């Protein structure tokens, strides 16, 4: 079988080496398409691929249509909003992700973002400490839990909101459970977002929630830009000169944000949450193993779609 790794933002070399070893040891062939800048290159490369490993690369209906031999696609990572699951299901292609494999890298970045903003982007202006502040974790999944755990080491109080996880499970970690999103935002000096993009979450973080944050509040986004209502973000940052926003996924209106709000906002030049050797190795090798196991035994653990 031909396994294509298509990564616009490549894995570290050591991860690619590990993926190759796993794929070839199972008797398959590895093909690489890295740093492509035109989606046409992906359409060409998938033509004869039996399996596909991607990161945030968009697997659209066109890609699925071009990939006549495709049986499985694995998103090496957690969020799978880049996969057209309907198109994949219609073509009877199994879609998987590798949950948890890159979570620590994202969690470390989220906590470092809090330090960076508390210290005014490392300018000499007097900053503040994380100790004693409250962190609100919005969605207590793999990343949210790790963020909470690291932040405890800074002496922060942690509160979380996650309607999909029983309160007892969250409380067992020494984390307070907010009864509503409104309570989470009203109580937290920092909010760290760990929600996926869904029809329900799209544009859901806006004026109503952010205006509730205590003085000096900071929103930390290592999730997705689509969950933010960007126009309302501008409005609240304009009205509340104490609020801050830091993101790993530049907003569509990032230039406007930077110009208007200076050191109160920051966006990384390119999404870097999962860009560590460790995360690349964990997620990349897991993806390769899941594909080889699927071909060898039909194992569909981590399958995201049903058909």
Residues that bind ligand 3PG (CB under 6 A): 9, 55-56, 77-79, 102, 271, 273-275
Instruction: Give one DSSP letter per residue of 143-168, joined into a string.
Output: HHHHHHHHHHHTT-EEEEE-TTS-HH
Of 52 and 159, the one with the shorter C-beta distance to ligand 3PG is 52
Q: Is the torsion defined by CA of 150, 154, 157, 161 positive or negative?
A: negative
User: Nearest residue to ligand 3PG, using CB?
Assistant: 77
Of 196 and 203, the one with the shorter C-beta distance to ligand 3PG is 196
Of 118 and 305, the one with the shorter C-beta distance to ligand 3PG is 305
Of 78 and 107, the one with the shorter C-beta distance to ligand 3PG is 78
Which residues make beta-bridge pairs with 59? 83
Of 54 and 213, the one with the shorter C-beta distance to ligand 3PG is 54
The secondary structure of residue 56, as a DSSP letter, is: S
SS3 132: coil
As measured in angstroms, the least distance from the Cβ of 145 to ligand 3PG is 15
As measured in angstroms, the least distance from the Cβ of 124 to ligand 3PG is 32
As measured in angstroms, the least distance from the Cβ of 58 to ligand 3PG is 11
As measured in angstroms, the least distance from the Cβ of 273 to ligand 3PG is 6
Distance of CA 303 to the CA centre of its chain: 18
Of 74 and 243, the one with the shorter C-beta distance to ligand 3PG is 74
Q: Which of 301, 304, 233, 303 is nearest to 265 (CA)?
A: 233
As measured in angstroms, the least distance from the Cβ of 274 to ligand 3PG is 4
As measured in angstroms, the least distance from the Cβ of 248 to ligand 3PG is 8
Of 134 and 142, the one with the shorter C-beta distance to ligand 3PG is 142
Q: How far apart are CA 9 and CA 286, in angstroms?
A: 18
As measured in angstroms, the least distance from the Cβ of 252 to ligand 3PG is 17
């Amino acid at each position: 079988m031909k396994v294509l790794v298509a990564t616009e933002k490549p894995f570290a070399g050591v991860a690619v080496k590990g993926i190759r070893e796993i794929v070839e040891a199972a008797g398959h062939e590895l093909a690489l398409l890295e740093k492509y800048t035109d989606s046409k290159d992906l359409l060409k490369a998938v033509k004869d691929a039996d399996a596909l490993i991607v990161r945030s690369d968009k697997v659209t209906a066109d890609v699925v249509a071009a990939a006549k031999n495709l049986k499985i696609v694995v998103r090496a990572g957690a969020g799978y909003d880049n996969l057209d699951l309907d198109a994949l299901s219609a073509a009877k292609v199994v879609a998987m992700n590798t949950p948890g494999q890159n979570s620590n890298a994202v969690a470390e970045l989220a906590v470092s973002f809090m330090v960076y903003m508390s210290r005014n982007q490392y300018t000499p202006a007097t900053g503040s400490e994380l100790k004693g502040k409250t962190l609100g974790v919005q969605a207590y999944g793999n990343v949210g839990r790790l963020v909470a755990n690291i932040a405890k080491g800074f002496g922060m109080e942690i509160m979380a909101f996650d309607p999909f996880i029983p309160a007892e499970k969250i409380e067992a970690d020494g984390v307070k459970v907010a009864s509503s999103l409104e309570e989470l935002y009203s109580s937290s000096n920092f909010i760290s977002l760990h929600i996926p993009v869904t029809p329900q979450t799209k544009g859901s973080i806006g004026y109503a929630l952010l205006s509730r944050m205590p003085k000096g509040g900071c929103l930390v986004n290592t999730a997705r830009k689509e969950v933010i209502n960007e126009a309302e973000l501008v409005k609240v940052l304009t009205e509340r000169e104490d609020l801050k926003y830091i993101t790993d996924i530049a907003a569509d209106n990032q230039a406007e944000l930077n110009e208007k709000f200076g050191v109160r906002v920051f966006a990384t030049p390119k999404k870097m949450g999962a860009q560590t050797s460790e995360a690349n190795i964990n997620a990349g090798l897991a993806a390769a193993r899941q594909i080889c196991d699927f071909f060898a035994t039909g194992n569909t653990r981590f399958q995201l779609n049903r058909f």
